[in-house]
Amino acid sequence: MFERLAEIVLNGERYPTEADQPPIMLWFPIEKDYVGPALMNETVEQKTDRLLKLSRKIRSQLHKITSGLDATGEERLLEYLELREVSVELNGLLAECGEGKSENYEKAKRTVTEINTALQGLEFEALVKEILKENHFQIGINKILVPWLDNLQKEAFQNPEKPDNFDKAREIENEAVIFAKEVRKANRMISQLDTEADLQENKIFSKGLIDDQKLRFKHIAQAAATRVEQNRAIVLNWGFYIEMKTEADKIFDELNELYPDQTKDVKDETEDLDYSKALPFVLNKFLSCSELLLTNQPKPDSQENCCVVHEKLNKSRELASRGMKILTKIGECTEKTPAHQSVWDQTCRLKKVVTALNDKGLNMDKLMKKWDGMVKSQQTDDLDFQPLLAFMNQYVKCFS
């Protein structure tokens, strides 16, 4: 009140003179509700009538206290203290009316008795506890829950940060999980306040307050859950890409150790791509190198070198089988997506490579046997040209 008076003085919200003031409308309460002061020569009948009017007014105030509708705890307590003082005057007036025994005395006596009984049923401590309970609920709503939800709402609907590396993605996913835990804490507080709302005198008003916050919380919780799911999917997909990329690079490095001179010009197509777009192409470098080796297969110039070439072919076949497993895993991940076509094309290419390596392996097995037969024929020097011709035919068949 005093702050408002200070504003009026500072802002000059006053009329300069009384002449500038607008006319004041004087009004009186409705006649049936108006209880005037006692007359100088008031009769017993007039006192009784005034007592009945006061009693009706007090009963309406009592109803306001007992019902709790449209009244705060502080207002009910003040009404109770005021009525407790007025009841003393009411009982004194009843005693004065009893001296003359007017017609309405019994009616007035019954009304005053009901008022005394109602006032005795009210407890000062109960009203104080009700105020504490109401203030506790209001503080929980206005001072704790609403600001808390304001901060959560602001954070829940901000633009998501896009990670540029896997560690950053894990950090963002961890922050999303922490935020979701904070949202769950707010949910526990809402449940607690919802229980307290059922204990308030004005349940309809209290439930309305908590229902408004429940609606806000529902949108916040949905945003938090969506953020966790999205970031967790990013981490899982990115982790799967790193795992597949590591395995693909490993078999390529092993192939590079077998054929160091023929794999140096092969380029990696995943360097400038995002992890989601690069996943279907993690094996492309190994596949391109394997196809290149099929067209530039080294030719052995001795039996020992032939054994080395044969061993390298077997190792290449093993690496191709491992590459097929990688493509199978990627295909399961990219199934029913546009990227699956690229995986399918690479699978077809790798199957052709595996078939060609198997054929070359079989031919190298035959070549080694022919070479061994030619060497034995040379050592015996029996002038048999069949082993030599058989070796030459198989050699041409392998490297033509």
How would you label 44-74 residue by residue, b for 16+ Cβ within 10 Å and e otherwise?
Answer: beebbbbbbebbeebeebbeebeebeebbbe
- The C-alpha atoms of residue 158 and residue 161 are separated, in whole angstroms, by 9
Question: Is the model more confident about 311 or about 99?
Answer: 311
Q: How confident is the model at residue 380 (pLDDT cuts 50, 70, 90)?
A: low
State the DSSP code for 140.
I
Q: Which of 107-111, 310-314, 382-386, 391-395 bottoms out in mean pLDDT, i.e. has the lowest?
A: 382-386
State the average pLDDT for the chain: 75
Residues near 143 by Cβ (< 8 Å), separated by ≥ 6? none
- What confidence tens digit (pLDDT) does each residue in 235-287 have? 888 888 888 888 888 888 888 887 776 656 666 666 656 677 777 778 888 88
- The C-alpha atoms of residue 281 and residue 323 are separated, in whole angstroms, by 12
pLDDT score of 75 more than 80: no
Rounded percentage of the chain residues whose pLDDT exceeds 70: 67
Q: What CA–CA distances, in Å, run from 202 to 130, 138, 206, 356? A: 11, 12, 6, 84
Q: What CA–CA distances, in Å, run from 215 to 83, 137, 190, 380? A: 41, 18, 11, 98
DSSP for 164-219 reads SSHHHHHHHHHHHHHHHHHHHHHHHHHHHHHHHHTTSSSHHHHHHHHHHHHHHHHH
- What confidence tens digit (pLDDT) does each residue in 341-371 have? 888 888 888 888 888 777 777 777 666 666 6
Token pair in block for residue 281: 């192409």
Residue 152 burial (CB < 10 Å; 0-12/13-18/19+)? buried
Question: Is the model more confident about 16 or about 169?
Answer: 169
Write the CATH number of the domain with boundaries 127-237.
1.20.58
What integer pLDDT is reported at residue 318 of this predicted model?
85
What integer pLDDT is reported at residue 139 of this predicted model?
81
Number of other CB atoms surrounding residue 374 within 10 Å: 22
Average of per-residue pLDDT across 158-177: 84
Q: Which of 121-130, 305-314, 328-337 bottoms out in mean pLDDT, i.e. has the lowest?
A: 121-130
Three-state SS annotation for 204-217: HHHHHHHHHHHHHH
Residue ranges per domain, the chain? Answer: 2-122, 127-237, 259-399
What integer pLDDT is reported at residue 49 of this predicted model?
73
What integer pLDDT is reported at residue 341 of this predicted model?
85
Q: How confident is the model at residue 383 (pLDDT cuts 50, 70, 90)?
A: very low
pLDDT score of 382 more than 60: no
Rounded percentage of the chain residues whose pLDDT exceeds 90: 1
Residue with tokens 């309405």: 104
What integer pLDDT is reported at residue 263 of this predicted model?
57
Residue 12 falls in which region: left (phi positive, over 0), alpha (psi -120 to 50) or beta: left
Residue 31 burial (CB < 10 Å; 0-12/13-18/19+)? exposed
- What confidence tens digit (pLDDT) does each residue in 14-72 have? 777 777 776 665 555 555 555 555 556 666 677 777 767 777 777 777 766 666 555 66
Q: How confident is the model at residue 381 (pLDDT cuts 50, 70, 90)?
A: low
Residue 204 burial (CB < 10 Å; 0-12/13-18/19+)? exposed
Q: What CA–CA distances, in Å, run from 123 to 53, 130, 177? A: 26, 11, 50
- The C-alpha atoms of residue 59 and residue 80 are separated, in whole angstroms, by 12
